Structure 1
Amino acid sequence: MDEQQNQVTEEQQTDVTEQEEQTASETQNPETDAMENDEMDDDDMDMDEMMEDEENFMALYEESFKRFEEGEVVTGKIIQIDKDYVLVDIGYKSEGLIPIREFIEPDGTVAAEIGDEVEVMVERLDSEDEGVMVSKEKASKIKVWEEIKVAYEEEGIVEGTITHRVKGGFSVDIGVPAFLPGSQVDLRPVRDLDSMVGKVFTFKVLKYNRKRSNIVLSRRVILEKEREEQRSSTLQNIHEGKVVEGVVKNITEYGVFVDLGGIDGLLHITDISWGRVKHPSELFGVGQTITVKVLDLDLERERVSLGMKQLKEDPWTTASDRYPVGERVSGKVVSLTDYGAFVELEEGIEGLIHVSEMSWTRKIRHPSKVVSVGDDLEAVVLDIKPSNRRVSLGMKQVAPNPWDVIGEKYPIGTTIEGRIKNITDFGMFIGIDEGIDGLVHISDISWTKRINHPGDVYKKGDEVRAIVLHIDRENERFSLGIKQLEPDPWETISERYQVGTKVNGLITSVTDFGIFVELEEGIEGLVHVSEVAKEKVKTPVGQFNVGDTVETVVVNINPKERRIGLSIKRLEEDEQEGYFNEYMASNKPASSALGEAFQRAAKIQAQNDDNGEEEE
């Protein structure tokens, strides 16, 4: 490179020497002067052009000897590019050299072409070989510092790119590194600071020190100025009832703050939609542009109330026309309470399905047992009151009431089969149709068995047969019976156990008032305490034991009350009377008068005993 520079310098010196010798020879030759004067007389225009060319040549000649100072910024033209340097003609005796690295882009390409003009700073002059080193980067920095000075003094702005985060703020590239404090980034604190990196903004120069290479920037000052200008314009043009556009600035649980242009307005959650809004964040996002209506304006406190639902007509004004009573409608479940479910028919109109209107047959304790939030369903309008903004809906009315046809489907006396769904102290519920259960009362389980609890005989889930006994449509009751599947054994009890018949039975219970004796399965008779023995007995307890077999005689039968009277005492009396008759037959000579008197006394005693038992 030094050889090329020396060669270029020698060629320039040779050209200058030849021009000087030619000029001197022409000046000393009188013949030449005469010829030139003749030519000038012939053509003045050619002479003028020659003089002008000579003046330009002299200017270039003088310019070639121009002196530069180190640190000076000049403009040059690229004349050569090689692998190490870029040669720039800056009008000096020799070209300036710029390292090729100053032209290499991040992607590795060289951003330089022959003929391009560039600003460079003179770094070093070599008076001996008349070489010069120049820098494009340093020239750019000098220019940047000059721009920073102008921007600071004249309240201007600079543009830069946020490169990375540093302690207390950001580093910004504006041609030279600068510092942007975190408090000067935006009007409000920035939550995601990393999102700012890599973005280009304009900044105000708060202060700078070139010696220390210290520059402090602010973006907030610019934003505040812009906001103030917008605010003044907005306040002049805004009024109640005006429809404006704004940008969502902040979202809270009670509403949305909207930037209308330098002034914020509140869109309350109740003014977002005629329908139900759980949280504004479901409908809006920060930075979103929305259209709103000014509902109220307080210029003194600079408070603006906004509305969005007011841009549409209130749906309740014509709700009666769209939802008449009896109309079948569809909607989505939006909320559940203990007493029912709210169904959205359209935006702004919700109807209530009370738990009592959810099923014809089931007793719904909570609506969650039937529906869930988000379910789509059909219902029937039962009542509508637009003034109160209420619609009553019925879900069970979509299908016919099964109790209206249950009597036709299952007439009284019909035998049905079903599964036991529930067992209580008073009976069992058997599933008949979907939603309809029949009750078998504990008294209708068996004709003869004494059942303390239905669970002692059946369990939940058992399949049973029963007969329809009664249907109460108004009270929605369905009565069933199991014992009615067989004849009532008490209807023929008199035929099987006549009065005076001797029977054997098993003692099932011993009480103070008598002894219960089982004659057959489910059929028990009572030996009253007065019928236990001829002698007066206060209580049979202790004299008889449960499980013992005892012989008795039937003394009375009451099929309606399902009672059989038994007697042990009568059995003994009959035996004694038999002995007496045998004795009298074998002793005929005895006085007949005495025998008759004894028989009369025995009959009187028997009658008295019968009367006493009936009274008891």
Structure 2
Amino acid sequence: MPNGETRGAFVNVDPNELNDEAIRQELDRQIADISNEELDRMVGDGPARHPTNEHGWIRGTIIEQRGDDVFVDIGGKSEAFLPAGEFDAHDPPKPGQTLSFVMQGLDRESGLMRLSLREARLQADLESLKPGDVIEARVTGVNIGGLELHSGSLRAFMPKSQVELERVEDFTPYIGRRLECEVSEIDRKGKNIVVSRRKLLERARDAEREELKQSLAEGQVRRGVVRRLTDFGAFIDIGGVEGLLRVADMAWGRVGHPSNVLKPGEEVEVKILKIDREKDRISLGLKQLQPDPWDVVEGNYRPGDTVEGRVTRLMDFGAFVELSEGVEGLIPISELSWTQRVRHPRDVLKEGDGVRVSVLNVDVPKRRISLSLKALGEDPWKSVAERYAPDSIVSGAVTRLTDFGAFVQLEEGVEGLVHISEMSEKRIRSAADVVKVGDVVRVLIKSVDPEQRRISLSMKLAENPPKSEDGHAADKPAAASTRRRKPRKLKGGLDA
């Protein structure tokens, strides 16, 4: 009960001891000395009505502070009061000061209206706020969901995800800090607000990023941090803006995966290759900061040179060989072997093999070097005309059957064709009617074309060789010319 004199005579009466008759008798005694005219006036006056504004607030003037209570004149016949603790320590109540208060009902003990300055200020602060406003708040605590804050008379909550741009594990260091934040939600009924610091940080970051973008230019060298790796490259943060460093631009040599060159968090120096402002893309290069190995290729590799390298890839059309870092050459499938029919490069090589090859051609503008493995071995077709004279009879193994005849291997790397019309005196529909793969047959050399690498053979003439001018069969060639040659192993380019 507020300090001051207690009014009325009921102070010595115990309400629990009164019944209706006792109350009536006590009332009669109390008003016995009051005239009828005064009673009528008192009834006509009724309870005092205090004017309030649209928010339900009432204006009042501070009278004085008595003990722990501050008394206020609100325009009625009686005083109103509120606890002195609702005033800020640095701004105590001053007699004659007019303020807005919220009425909280009559105090039962004193009969005076109880007021609240804190509630009025809280409502005023809430009314003045709207989502998007920026306020400053002090962190007062941490709970499982985020930070608890106070901004003036307002309580606020900041979810964990809205504190920083990056994930935060420990929020304890934030207690006591004053943070600038943006109002996200307002709960006027619960008198609480939800705020976000992340939104302000994002806007500041975006502004810095836009400013940085305007300062970027192609050809600049910037320092950055590797943010993340993908199969096709690495994303590099160059001061708030991310650019893409593709695998092909990481090194002059072949890179299997970005993780072979970079790791997340690593600082690197990169060159800006291209800026696409419409698509908001930046292409970066790492190898462009190193000398281009192709600048010295022409002086290091000349046609006819024998060089060593390592097989890096096998394709249907040939094998790629790394001659030095960033310099690769191609061995076409036709240049893998003189003697072996190669269906795929893996029939001869495997990735990682060390090889010795001959340089066939160098095209620096197109970054191409043609290589040959078989060029380091002896070409069996080089002297084939000397070994296989026309009308000589030899033996060979059938290697392939086609619609138009059969191919016969005379020696390793040298094949001839028996046309279907030269297989038998009889008419046949298919070469398979006469021979099968693996059969050893006698054939007559009809013609030899070393340039086209073609030898025409005949099985039927081998059985009935042409007559000489004296009417006798043509002599067979010397044994040295007709015997099957022993297969030779590939010597040239494979390292032991």
Q: Tell me the TM-score normalized by structure 2.
A: 0.57
Return closer, same or farther for 1:426/1:576 CA change in 2, 3 Å cut-off.
Answer: same
Q: Which residue of 1 aligns with 2:374?
A: 483
Question: Which residue, out of 440, 448, 452, partners 1:561?
Answer: 452
1:448 aligns with 2:339: yes
What corresponds to 2:355 in structure 1? 464
Contact 1:229/1:262 (8 A) holds in 2: no
1:362 is matched with which residue? 254
1:138-189 CA deviation, whole Å, 9 max, x = no partner? Answer: xxxxxxxxxxxxxxxx999xxxxxxxxxxxxxxxxxxxxxxxxxxxxxxxxx
Q: Post-superposition shift, 1:522?
A: 0.9
Deviation at 1:544, TM superposition (A): 4.3
1:247 is aligned with what amino acid? V
Note if contact 2:227-2:235 (Cα within 8 Å) is conserved in structure 1. Answer: yes
Match of 1:521 in 2: 412
Match of 1:422 in 2: 313
- CA distance, structure 1, for counterparts of residue 296 and residue 370 of structure 2: 16
SS class of match (1:489): coil
**CA pair 233-532 structure 1, distance change in 2 beyond 3 A:** closer
Contact 1:249 1:259 in 2 (8 A): no
- Work out which of the residue numbers 205, 216, 222 in structure 2 matches 1:329: 222
Trace 1:600-615 onto structure 2 (pairs within 5 A).
none
Aligned residues of 2:142 and 2:171 also touching (Cα < 8 A): no
Instruction: Give unpaired runs (5+ residues) of structure 1.
Output: 1-153, 157-224, 583-616
Q: Relative CO higher for 1 or 2, CA cutoff 8 Å, sep ≥ 6?
A: 2
The residue type paired with residue 386 of structure 2 is E
CA contact (8 A) 2:137 2:181 kept: no
**1:523 deviation in Å?**
0.5
Tell me, in whole angstroms, the C-alpha distance in 2 between the residues paired with 1:266 and 1:328.
Answer: 44
**SS state of the match for residue 289, structure 1?**
coil
2:209 corresponds to which residue? 316
**Using a 3 Å threshold, how does the CA distance of structure 1 residues 416 and 323 change in structure 2: closer, same or farther?**
same
Is 1:278 the equivalent of 2:166?
yes
Shift in alpha-carbon separation, 1:513–1:467, aligned structure 2, 3 A: same
The answer to whether the Cα contact below 8 Å between 2:380 and 2:413 also exists between their aligned partners in 1 is no
Instruction: Return the letter of the residue paired with 1:461.
Output: G
How far does residue 388 in structure 1 lie from its aligned partner after superposition?
A: 8.1
Separation in structure 2 between the aligned mates of residue 389 and residue 534 of structure 1, nearest angstrom:
78
Distance 1:229 1:261, change over 3 A: farther
- Residue 95 of structure 2 is matched in structure 1 by none
> Aligned partners of 2:384 and 2:312: how far apart in 1?
35
Partner of 1:350 in structure 2?
Answer: 242
Aligned in 2, Cα 1:540/1:339: closer, same or farther, shift over 3 Å? Answer: closer
- Could you tell me how far apart the structure 2 residues matched to 1:328 and 1:563 are? 60
Q: For the residues of structure 1 that align with 2:170 and 2:364, how far apart are their CA atoms?
A: 50
* In structure 1, distance between residues paired with 2:281 and 2:420: 72
The answer to whether structure 1 residue 379 and structure 2 residue 270 are counterparts is: yes
Partner secondary structure for residue 341 of structure 2: coil
Q: Which residue of 1 aligns with 2:384?
A: 493
Q: Report the Cα offset of residue 270 of structure 1.
A: 9.2
Q: Distance in 2 between matches of 1:447 and 1:511?
A: 22
Give, in angstroms, the shift of residue 331 of structure 1.
Answer: 1.8
How does 1:580-599 map onto structure 2 within 5 Å?
Answer: 580=471
8 A contact 2:301–2:362 mirrored in 1: no
* Change in 2 beyond 3 A, CA 1:409/1:437: same
CA distance change for structure 1 residues 337 and 546 in 2, over 3 Å: closer, same or farther?
A: closer
Secondary structure at the aligned position of 1:455 is classed as: helix
Instruction: Please provide the CA RMSD for this pair.
Output: 4.5
Partner of 1:292: 179
- Residue by residue, what CA displacement relative to the aligned partner does 1:252-302 show, whole Å, maximum 9, x if unpaired? 89x8553334424466889866xxx232x2584375233433545988846
Query: Which of the two has greater helix per residue?
Result: 1
Q: Could you list the per-position Cα deviations for residues 341-378 of structure 1 after superposition, in whole angstroms to 9, with x for gaps in the alignment?
A: 332333x34333344533445366x6445433212211
8 A contact 1:360–1:401 mirrored in 2: yes
> Is contact 1:427–1:442 with CA below 8 Å preserved after alignment?
yes
For each residue in 1:418-449, what CA deviation from the matched residue of structure 2 results, as whole angstroms up to 9, or x when unmatched?
A: 23333344332323223444332221111232
Task: Check conservation: 2:228, 2:264, Cα contact below 8 A.
Answer: yes
Question: What are the within-5 Å matches in structure 2 for residues 194-233 of structure 1?
Answer: none
Confirm whether residue 393 of structure 1 aligns to residue 301 of structure 2.
no
C-alpha distance 382-290 of structure 1, shift in aligned 2 (>3 A): farther
Q: Is this contact kept in 2: 1:248–1:284, CA < 8 A? A: no
Residues 485 and 287 from structure 1, CA distance in 2 versus in 1: closer, same or farther, beyond 3 angstroms? closer
- Of the two, which has the highest radius of gyration? 1
Tell me the number of residue pairs that the alignment of Structure 1 and Structure 2 aligns.
Answer: 354
Letter in 2 for 1:458: L
* Partner of residue 246, structure 1: 138
Query: What residue in structure 1 maps to residue 234 of structure 2?
Result: 341
Structure 1 residues 238, 377: closer, same or farther in 2, change over 3 A? same
* Aligned partner of residue 381 in structure 2, secondary structure: helix
Q: Could you tell me how far 1:532 is from its partner in structure 2?
A: 2.9
Amino acid of the structure 1 residue aligned with 2:218: V
| Aligned AA (2:254) | R
Residues 473 and 231 (structure 1 numbering): CA distance in 2 closer, same or farther, change over 3 Å? farther
Residues 499-553 of structure 1: CA distance to partner in whole angstroms, max 9, x if unpaired?
A: 2333333444456643433222211112223223444444453544655544432
Alpha-carbon distance, 1:231 to partner: 5.0
Alignment of 1:20-35 (within 5 A): none
* TM-score in terms of structure 1 length: 0.47
User: Displacement of 1:467 after TM fit?
Assistant: 1.7
User: Structure 2 stretches of 5 or more lacking a match?
Assistant: 1-66, 70-115, 474-496
Contact 1:320 1:384 survives alignment (8 Å): no
Aligned AA for 2:139? V
SS at 2:238's partner residue?
strand
Amino acid corresponding to residue 316 of structure 1 in structure 2: R
Amino acid in the other structure paired with 2:299: E
> Among the aligned pairs, what percent are the same residue?
34
Paired letter, 1:396 = K
Contact 1:420 1:463 in 2 (8 A): yes
Contact 1:234 1:260 in 2 (8 A): no
Q: State how far apart, in whole Å, the 1-side matches of 2:307 and 2:400 are.
A: 37
Report SS of the residue matched to 1:334: strand
Instruction: Judge conservation of contact 2:389–2:445 (CA < 8 Å) in 1.
Output: yes
